[in-house]
Chains A and B, each alone.
Chain A
Amino acid sequence: MNARLLPYMLILPVTLFLCLFFLYPFVLVAKQAFTTGAGFTLDNFREVVSYWKFPISLKNTLLLAAAVVPIQLALSLLMATMVTRMEKGRDLVLYVWTIPLGISDLAAGLIWLAIFEQSGFLNSMMHGMGIVDKPANLLTFQNPGLVFVAIALAEIWRATAIMLVILVAGIGLIPKEYYEAAEVFGASPWKRFVRITLPMLRPSLQTALVLRVIMAFEVFAVVAALGGTLFPVLMGETYAYQFDLLNSGAAAAMALVILAISIAATLVILRALRVPKGATI
């Protein structure tokens, strides 16, 4: 076989597949969002944005991302540094910490539902300690703060693992000599973390944050399991447009809104954490 054509033959299946199931539907979404039977229009967007639930779901989604992602970043950095110092039991601890990686958002929602529901473990324990005598229904519209906390906890629990994995892999790529050199020059462990680990980890931080933030804007099943309709989010509204309201034009417009937010966030992260050319390991 012609050696020059071989690589193209090898990437052909993926390219075709992605064109058919990624690029083409993307074009379709865009088309659907900008048309209502008769030509180009912004009606779908106007309709979606003017709906009373839109500001709330947008606010909820952004607020959740803003609350959850920084905590996860700190937590995963802490866990990653803890693990790199570990000698005994490293594999076991890493396994335990990465378990949520394999757990779907729906299952994670259900797991936390078992804790927060009316007859759940939180109420049981509070009852056992004599704080409450009757189980209170925690996840109701009267406790919007608690609903938020429950969803945030479930999100933190579920999706820290993906950042942890990326950061542990990234730390593994930083040669040990840099730390030894810094130590010889008298840098404290904290200084070594701030001056060496963090800057050298920038490519991994980029990946981890981009991936995590995009996931945060797609939050859906955790919210559905824990909050139901109490806590509207963008992805949930998209689902509702498609199925409950049977308005696929509006659903497509919502999808593009989510995409726009994701792209904006990605660009901000890439810009903030960019690595100067030639400064890579």
Chain B
Amino acid sequence: MTDATVAEAPAAPSTRSAGRFLYISGVVLLCAWVLVPIYFLLVNTLSSPDTVNSFPKPLFPEFDFGSLAFFAQFAGMLTALKNSVLTAGMTMIMSILIGAPAGYALSRFDFRGKELFRLLILLTRAFPLPLLALPLAVMFIQTGLDDTTFGLALVHTTLAIPFAVLITFSLFSGIPLELEEAAWTLGCTRLTAFTKVVLPLILPGITASAIFAFVISWNEVFAAAVLTIENRTLTAFLLQNLDTSPLHLKFAGGFILVVPALIFIFAVRKYLFAMWGIANR
């Protein structure tokens, strides 16, 4: 061995630990990048309306529920919250009920027109869907669905369905056909094999995709603003009152919008990646 290698040897750990330091601080920095803005919103929400409008801002919350109380009392706000929950709930149920059978068909059968069907689904996903809210507004007025949470839920279901189909497709593909076949040989019909074997196995995944549909509806702004007038959802209500409402109302409303997101993403985190993995194929 030459001297050079001996001299180099002690240097290696220090460059490695320097790289490691850089790596860890990068990770921490990126986490802060995500979390700090949310923290600021939290500080504003948990401060009194006076503090929110004053200057300079404290960097810590004073745990005053004045802003939230103001939010709760603001005319129409709680109704808007209720409308959001209702719409998202209906979207969740409809997109799974309509989407899951198609996901099952895609994973289990080869049929004529399968590629065309997949194309239709992908097309829906790659399309600025909220734009369709405009003609639907006219259509809904003709059918009496205008300004109802159900009508809006229908539009949100259109948004959520491509995801529901692709996620359930990947879920069903993860259940070996052999398990279903085994159930058939053990006395099951197609239907009982599905309810006794397939359903229990994919239930957590179905829940995750239902939650995903809920979030899509919960967050949607444009179609909600176009399609509802009296029965505004929370997003539409906040958007409509952006110019006129005081700051503490905006922040409290924003906070109420963010909280479910934090919980839902936590609930579905296991499935986020699996579903995109297969959805790309």
Per the CB under 8 Å rule, do A and B touch in the complex? yes
- Bound-state CA distance A251–B134 (Å) is 8
Report chain A residues within 8 Å CB of B253: 110
Is A51 located at the chain interface by the 8 A CB criterion?
Answer: no
- The interface-forming segment of B1-9, B25-33, B68-76, B199-207 is B25-33
Residue with the highest number of chain B CB atoms closer than 10 Å, among A21, A119, A259: A21
- Bound-state CA distance A96–B41 (Å) is 16
The interface residues of chain A, by DSSP majority, are classed as helix
Interface contacts (Cβ under 8 Å), in number, total 265
Is A67 located at the chain interface by the 8 A CB criterion?
Answer: no
Report chain A residues within 8 Å CB of B135: 25-26, 28-29, 32, 252
Report chain A residues within 8 Å CB of B108: 7
Given contacts A107-B257, A111-B41, A120-B57, contact A10 B272 (CB under 8 A): no
How far, in Å, is A24 (CB) from chain B's closest CB? 8
* Of the residues B126, B134, B261, contact of A29 by C-beta under 8 Å: B134
- Bound-state CA distance A76–B82 (Å) is 35
CB atoms of A102 and B128 under 8 A apart? no
* Of the residues A15, A29, A169, contact of B274 by C-beta under 8 Å: A169
Which A residues from 150 to 169 make CB contacts under 8 A with B? 157, 165-166, 168-169
CB atoms of A101 and B41 under 8 A apart? no
Report chain A residues within 8 Å CB of B124: 18, 22
Nearest neighbor of B158 in chain A, beta-carbon distance: A21
Given contacts A10-B102, A93-B27, contact A123 B55 (CB under 8 A): yes
Is A37 located at the chain interface by the 8 A CB criterion?
Answer: no
* Of the residues A101, A119, A266, contact of B57 by C-beta under 8 Å: A119
Nearest neighbor of A261 in chain B, beta-carbon distance: B128
Residue with the highest number of chain A CB atoms closer than 10 Å, among B104, B239, B247, B272: B272
Nearest neighbor of B164 in chain A, beta-carbon distance: A14
Is A43 located at the chain interface by the 8 A CB criterion?
Answer: no
CB atoms of B55 and A124 under 8 A apart? yes
Is B21 located at the chain interface by the 8 A CB criterion?
Answer: no
Given contacts A14-B161, A110-B41, A111-B38, contact A127 B55 (CB under 8 A): yes
CB atoms of B131 and A82 under 8 A apart? no
CB atoms of A98 and B269 under 8 A apart? yes
How far, in Å, is A187 (CB) from chain B's closest CB? 18
The interface residues of chain B, by DSSP majority, are classed as helix
Which B residues from 25 to 80 make CB contacts under 8 A with A? 26-27, 30-31, 33-35, 37-38, 40-41, 44, 52-57, 59
Report chain B residues within 8 Å CB of A6: 105, 109, 190
Report chain A residues within 8 Å CB of B44: 114
Interface residues of B (CB under 8 A from A): 23, 26-27, 30-31, 33-35, 37-38, 40-41, 44, 52-57, 59, 97-99, 101-102, 104-106, 108-109, 111, 114, 117, 120-121, 124-132, 134-139, 154-155, 157-158, 161, 165, 190, 215, 218-222, 225-226, 235, 238-239, 242-243, 247, 250-251, 253-254, 257-258, 260-262, 264-266, 269, 272-277, 279-281
For the A-B complex with A14-B102, A121-B40 known, give 6 more contacts whose Cβ atoms are closer than 8 Å. A9-B101, A102-B219, A106-B254, A114-B41, A117-B247, A214-B126
28 A-B pairs within 8 Å (CB atoms) are namely A6-B105, A8-B111, A13-B97, A14-B99, A17-B157, A18-B124, A21-B155, A22-B132, A26-B132, A96-B34, A97-B30, A99-B262, A102-B261, A106-B221, A111-B254, A111-B258, A114-B41, A119-B54, A124-B59, A127-B56, A157-B37, A169-B272, A214-B127, A228-B242, A242-B134, A242-B137, A248-B138, A251-B134
